[in-house]
Amino acid sequence: MSALHPPIRPEYERPLEPFEEQPVERALSLRQRLWQRGGLRKMLILIVLALLWEGIARWQNNELLLPTFSATAAALAEDLRSGELLVKMAISLSVLLKGYLLGIAAAFLITTLAVSTQTGRDFLSTLTAMFNPLPAIALLPLSLLWFGLGQVSLVFVLVHSVLWPLALNTYAGFLGVPDTLRMAGRNYGLKGFRYVFQILIPAALPSILSGLKIGWAFAWRTLIAAELVFGASSGKGGLGWYIFQNRNELFTDKVFAGLAMVIIVGLLVENLIFHSIERITVRRWGVQR
Amino acid sequence: MSASAALRIQSPAAWPVREKERTAAEAASLAALLSIRGLTLEYRTPERVVRATHRVSIDVFRGDRFVLLGPSGCGKSTLLKAVAGFIEPTEGAIHLEGRPARGPGPDRVVVFQEFDQLPPWKTVTENVVFPLLASRTLKRREAEERAAHYIDKVGLSQFAKVYPHELSGGMKQRVAIARALAMQPRILLMDEPFAALDALTRRKMQEELLALWEDVGFTLLFVTHSIEEALLVGNRIALLSPHPGRIRAEINSHAWDLGSLGCAGFQTASARIHALLFEQEHTGTVQ
């Protein structure tokens, strides 16, 4: 038996006036709003890092090993102004784009096979298990042997760096589409390609986008590394070649400028292109934070 | 064969005496809109084949709010999915307006329990327009007009341009209902549409669904595990027993609405259904 006896209290009802004491919503202060901007916070980190670099380089005082931040910035500015870096970048990016697009096409082909047939599924899982741990750059010697010193070799390696992570992510994305959504789509008579393009792809877009991002990062790294290995074909080299050449001539500030350019291009693509795509799609739809 | 024979029994030709007085329209309204005959459904798990329903036969007439009621495991959702065309019957047949219903189609639109039935990449309006375009029912302009009409009917006009993730659970279900109604399906299928909502919202949605039925006029096949919801929403209730699902009884519930919640008759009906559904567990005997 319970020994607890809460007291019996009188009941009451009260009329509620409209709430006017203060507004229900309040704006955040300017500082809070500024601090919420991720770009601003990251910029702050970059400034701190640059200052640190400058400090260490001045203290080291060895231009050949570690040029200062300001010297690197000057070299970067100069080669940007002369157009040399831009030309190198354009060469690198044009090769990259070919490999990237081919890789995407191949990834969608394989994923489509994997979604529709058991054999395709086995094919995808076996090949990704094999090639995902293999750095694409390790295929470069073979690629050079097969395709010779030229763009084709680079593109072959790039396709490998994009294909497997993208296929894996896209496939996982398709598997993750909720059953209810699939049934809803079929309910309206969607079949085949219309079903894939109007239900599966948009529903799997967060995974596909992350696959595209990973693929892009892999491809960019692989390309620079490949250019460092065999450099130019018919006198036209990309960013990797620029770094390699300047190291040979001991222009360390230019080596740093080249590295900075590699980073800047990576950041620009990540922050401008992918971020914008995410903002107008998956973030807007509330399927990704 | 057996299905068509059963259909003939339902058709007015079986009563030749009164046939002459009937107009064609009346005759049509007498034939069942949806007729399920001897439907056995099975689904496969990695280890075994499970019989979900066993030789279920029901008739749903135009304007019915037909409820499938039963405890979990009675195959009521499987039955609804079979009517929707997502599951192939092992045995038996499903006829809609006398024609066999095969495969999913826009003439039988489903409102699911889960909120992710709404594509998150489409706004409320786009969500309602989408099936109209996907099924090539209407051109874009007409589809948008019709969508606006039904969004207004469920009271979401203010939220027409909003994405689903910004809506509450009840509002998402309203969008799903508007989307289904906009298709003007032969029959509207609802699979525990309010089960994931909180109790207050659920009550409000039941009320709104009945108001919509009065206003728009549609045929409804509604799955629930709540006796109270069955009595409120339905005009006729089929009780299913579990493992495998078989029809235990069909009960009329057209007399009850939200006003009769506390009344004695409602309580009696509720107790009767409870007894029918659970007598085996209580007495331990087999029928």
Domain chopping of chain B, boundaries: 118-184
User: A243: alpha, beta or left, given left = phi > 0 and alpha = psi -120 to 50?
Assistant: alpha
Q: What percent of chain A has pLDDT over 70?
A: 97
Band of pLDDT at residue A231, cut at 50, 70 and 90: low
pLDDT, tens digit (0-9, with 9 covering 90-100), for B222-240: 999 988 888 888 888 888 8
Q: Is the domain defined by A62-283 classed in CATH 1.10.3720.10?
A: yes
- Amino acid B21: pLDDT: 46
* CB contact B120 to A (< 8 Å): yes
Residues of A in contact with B118 (CB under 8 A): 184
Please report how the helices B124-134 and B169-182 are oriented relative to each other, as an axis angle in degrees rounded to 10: 30
Are the Cβ atoms of B119 and A184 closer than 8 angstroms?
yes
Return the closest-CA partner of residue A88 out of A218, A235, A253. A235
**Nearest CB partner across the interface for A286, out of B105, B112, B166:** B166
Are the Cβ atoms of A202 and B121 closer than 8 angstroms?
yes
Residue A36 has pLDDT above 90, yes or no: no
- Closest alpha carbon within chain B to A203: B119
* CB contact A197 to B (< 8 Å): no
Residue A197 has pLDDT above 90, yes or no: no
Return the closest-CA partner of residue A83 out of B44, B124, A91, B78. A91
Helix (H) or strand (E) holding B270: helix B264-283
Residues of B in contact with A177 (CB under 8 A): none
> How far is the C-alpha of A103 from the C-alpha of A84, rounded, in Å?
29
- Amino acid A107: pLDDT: 92
- Amino acid A194: pLDDT: 85
Give the residue with greater pLDDT, A22 vs B124: B124
* CB contact B135 to A (< 8 Å): yes
Are the Cβ atoms of A180 and B130 closer than 8 angstroms?
no
* CB contact A95 to B (< 8 Å): no
> How far is the C-alpha of A159 from the C-alpha of A130, rounded, in Å?
15
Band of pLDDT at residue B95, cut at 50, 70 and 90: confident
Q: What is the mean pLDDT of residues B100-125?
A: 89
Give the residue with greater pLDDT, B282 vs A245: A245
* Encoded tokens for A75: 């070299």
The region of weakest confidence among A225-229, A230-234, A251-255 is A230-234
- Amino acid A216: pLDDT: 93
- Amino acid B6: pLDDT: 42
Are the Cβ atoms of A183 and B131 closer than 8 angstroms?
no
* CB contact B129 to A (< 8 Å): no
- Contacts of B243-247 with C-beta under 8 Å, sequence gap 24+, read B243/B73, B243/B74, B244/B51, B244/B52, B244/B53, B244/B54, B244/B75, B245/B52, B245/B53, B245/B54, B245/B56, B245/B70, B245/B74, B245/B75, B245/B76, B245/B78, B245/B79, B246/B53, B246/B54, B246/B55, B246/B56, B247/B56, B247/B57, B247/B58
> How far is the C-alpha of A89 from the C-alpha of A103, rounded, in Å?
20
Give the residue with greater pLDDT, A3 vs A175: A175
DSSP A133-196: SS-GGGGHHHHHHHH-SSHHHHHHHHHHHHHHHHHHHHHHHHHTS-HHHHHHHHHTT--HHHHI
pLDDT, tens digit (0-9, with 9 covering 90-100), for B155-189: 888 888 899 998 888 889 889 988 988 888 889 99
Q: What percent of chain B has pLDDT over 70?
A: 87
* Beta strands at B236-241 and B65-69: parallel, antiparallel or unpaired: parallel
| Cα within 13 Å of Cα(B156), Cβ side | 30
pLDDT, tens digit (0-9, with 9 covering 90-100), for A37-88: 888 888 899 899 999 999 999 998 888 888 999 999 999 999 889 988 898 8
* CB contact B138 to A (< 8 Å): no
- Closest alpha carbon within chain A to B84: A187
* Encoded tokens for A150: 């030229």
Q: What is the mean pLDDT of residues A18-26?
A: 78
- Report the alpha-carbon angle B189-B6-B277, nearest 5: 55
* Residue for token pair 């996907």: B134
Residues of B in contact with A196 (CB under 8 A): none
Are the Cβ atoms of A184 and B117 closer than 8 angstroms?
yes
- Closest alpha carbon within chain B to A194: B134
- Amino acid B7: pLDDT: 41
Above 0.85 for ipTM, yes or no?
no
pLDDT, tens digit (0-9, with 9 covering 90-100), for A146-188: 988 888 888 999 999 999 999 999 999 998 999 999 999 988 8
Mean pLDDT of chain B: 81
Band of pLDDT at residue B285, cut at 50, 70 and 90: very low
**Nearest CB partner across the interface for A189, out of B106, B117, B119:** B106
Residue B36 has pLDDT above 90, yes or no: no
* CB contact A183 to B (< 8 Å): yes
* Residue for token pair 């209580």: B282
> How far is the C-alpha of B154 from the C-alpha of B52, rounded, in Å?
34
The region of weakest confidence among A54-63, A64-73, A117-126, A222-231 is A222-231
Are the Cβ atoms of A286 and B163 closer than 8 angstroms?
yes
Rg (CA), chain A: 27
* Residue for token pair 């969008």: B175
**Nearest CB partner across the interface for B120, out of A194, A198, A287:** A287
* CB contact A285 to B (< 8 Å): yes
Return the closest-CA partner of residue B238 out of B226, B247, B228, B225. B247
* CB contact B163 to A (< 8 Å): yes
Residues of A in contact with B81 (CB under 8 A): 183
pLDDT, tens digit (0-9, with 9 covering 90-100), for B45-84: 888 888 888 888 888 888 889 999 988 878 888 889 999 9
- Amino acid A129: pLDDT: 87
Taking CA atoms, A259 is separated from A151, A253, A256, A266, in Å, by 22, 10, 5, 11
Are the Cβ atoms of A184 and B112 closer than 8 angstroms?
yes
Domain boundaries, chain A: 62-283
Band of pLDDT at residue B152, cut at 50, 70 and 90: confident
Are the Cβ atoms of B117 and A190 closer than 8 angstroms?
no
- Amino acid A97: pLDDT: 93
